[in-house]
C-alpha cells in the first residue's frame, strides 16, 4: 500500500513567528543574561566586571537575609494559595445556590479581579494607615497592639490579607464555572442517595472539582511568588527589616537599589530553579491524585 505524504506549508510558522520572537526577546534573552551575570562581579556603575564562577551563589546561600526571605516566601505563598482557594470555594458554592439576585451577587464577588496588584496594595495601605486607616483603628480598638510598621508579624498579616483578597475573585470565577459544569443529573442523584449536604460536597462535588483545584493551586502559587511584588512594594516595601520581602522583591532591592547585579542575578537563577522544582513536584506527584 502506497504511503500518503502531505506537503508542509511554511504558513503556520509565519503566523507563530511573532509570538516566538516575543518569547525570545522578552523571556529567553533576559533569562540567559541573568544566568551569565550571575557568574560576574560588577562595580556599582557597570563599567567593569570580573568572572567569579559560583562566588555569587555561595554569598547568596550564606546570607541570612536571603534565607529569611526564602522562608517568608514559602510560608507566604502557602498561606495565600490555601486561604484564597478555601474562601473562593466557599463563596462559589454559596453563590451557586443563590436563586434571587444571583447575577448581582456574582458580579460583586468578581469585581476584585479588575484591581491591579499595586492598586490593591495602595488600598490596603490606606486601610492600615496609622493616621486614618479604618482597619488599623478597628484592630487597636479590640485591644491588639497592631503596628505593621514596626512589627514583622503584623506586616506579614497585612500583605497576606491584601494578596488573598486580590486573588479570591480569580479563584471564584474558576470554581463557579466548575460547579456550573457539573451535570444536574449527578447532583440530583447525589441528593436522593445522601441527605447530608456536607457529605455530598466532600464525596461528590469536591472530587469533581479536583482538576480545577489543582489548576488553581499552580496558578495561586505562581501568583504568590511573582505577582505580589506590586502589593509588597506599595504596602510595606519589604519592611520592617526585610521581614516581608519575597525572593522576587529581594532581587529587585539588591539589583536595582543596591546595584548588586551579580548577586541579584544569582538570586533570580536560584528562584527559577526553585519554581521549576516546585512545578515538577506538583505535576509529578500531586496531579496523580487528580481524576479528570
Domains (ranges, CATH) in the chain? 61-287 (1.10.3720.10)
Residue 246 in contact with residue 117, Cβ under 8 Å?
A: no
pLDDT value at 154 more than 70:
yes
Distance CA 77, CA 80 (A): 5
Q: What would the pLDDT profile of 16-65 be if each residue is shown by its tens digit?
A: 888 899 988 888 888 888 888 888 787 766 677 777 788 888 888 888 88
For the segment 125-140, the average pLDDT, to the nearest whole number, is 86
Nearest residue to 232 (alpha-carbon basis) of 156, 144, 181: 156
What Cα–Cα distance (Å) separates residue 88 from each residue in 107, 108, 169, 184, 216?
Answer: 14, 13, 7, 22, 11
Out of 96-100, 107-111, 148-152, 260-264, pick the least confident.
Answer: 96-100
Q: Which residues pair with 49 in a beta bridge?
A: 42
Report cis status (omega within 30 of 0) of the bond before 250.
no
The pTM of the whole model exceeds 0.85: no
* CB count in 10 Å sphere of residue 209: 21
Element at 276 (helix H, strand E) = helix 261-281
pLDDT value at 124 more than 80:
yes
What Cα–Cα distance (Å) separates residue 167 from each residue in 55, 83, 100, 221?
Answer: 38, 10, 26, 11
Q: What rounded mean pLDDT belongs to the chain?
A: 83
Amino acid at each position: 500500500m502506497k504511503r500518503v505524504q502531505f506537503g508542509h506549508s511554511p504558513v503556520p510558522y509565519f503566523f507563530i513567528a511573532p509570538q516566538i520572537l516575543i518569547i525570545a526577546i522578552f523571556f529567553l534573552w533576559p533569562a540567559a543574561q541573568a544566568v551569565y551575570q550571575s557568574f560576574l562581579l560588577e562595580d556599582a556603575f557597570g563599567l567593569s566586571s570580573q568572572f567569579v564562577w559560583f562566588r555569587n551563589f555561595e554569598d547568596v546561600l550564606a546570607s541570612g537575609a536571603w534565607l529569611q526571605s526564602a522562608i517568608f516566601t514559602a510560608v507566604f505563598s502557602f498561606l495565600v494559595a490555601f486561604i484564597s482557594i478555601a474562601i473562593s470555594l466557599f463563596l462559589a458554592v454559596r453563590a451557586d445556590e443563590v436563586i434571587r439576585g444571583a447575577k448581582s451577587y456574582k458580579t460583586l464577588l468578581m469585581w476584585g479581579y479588575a484591581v491591579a496588584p499595586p492598586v490593591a496594595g495602595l488600598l490596603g495601605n490606606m486601610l492600615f494607615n496609622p493616621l486614618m486607616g479604618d482597619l488599623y483603628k478597628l484592630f487597636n480598638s479590640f485591644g491588639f497592639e497592631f503596628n505593621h510598621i514596626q512589627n514583622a508579624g503584623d506586616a506579614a498579616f497585612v500583605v497576606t490579607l491584601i494578596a488573598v483578597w486580590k486573588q479570591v475573585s480569580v479563584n471564584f470565577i474558576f470554581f463557579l464555572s466548575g460547579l456550573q459544569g457539573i451535570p444536574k443529573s449527578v447532583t440530583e442523584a447525589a441528593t436522593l442517595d445522601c441527605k447530608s449536604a456536607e457529605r455530598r460536597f466532600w464525596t461528590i462535588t469536591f472530587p469533581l472539582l479536583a482538576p480545577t483545584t489543582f489548576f488553581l493551586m499552580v496558578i495561586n502559587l505562581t501568583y504568590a511568588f511573582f505577582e505580589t511584588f506590586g502589593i509588597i512594594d506599595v504596602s510595606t516595601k519589604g519592611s520592617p527589616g526585610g521581614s516581608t520581602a519575597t525572593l522576587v522583591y529581594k532581587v529587585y532591592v539588591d539589583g536595582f537599589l543596591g546595584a548588586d547585579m551579580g548577586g541579584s542575578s544569582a538570586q533570580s537563577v536560584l528562584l527559577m530553579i526553585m519554581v521549576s522544582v516546585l512545578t515538577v513536584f506538583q505535576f509529578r506527584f500531586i496531579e496523580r491524585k487528580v481524576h479528570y
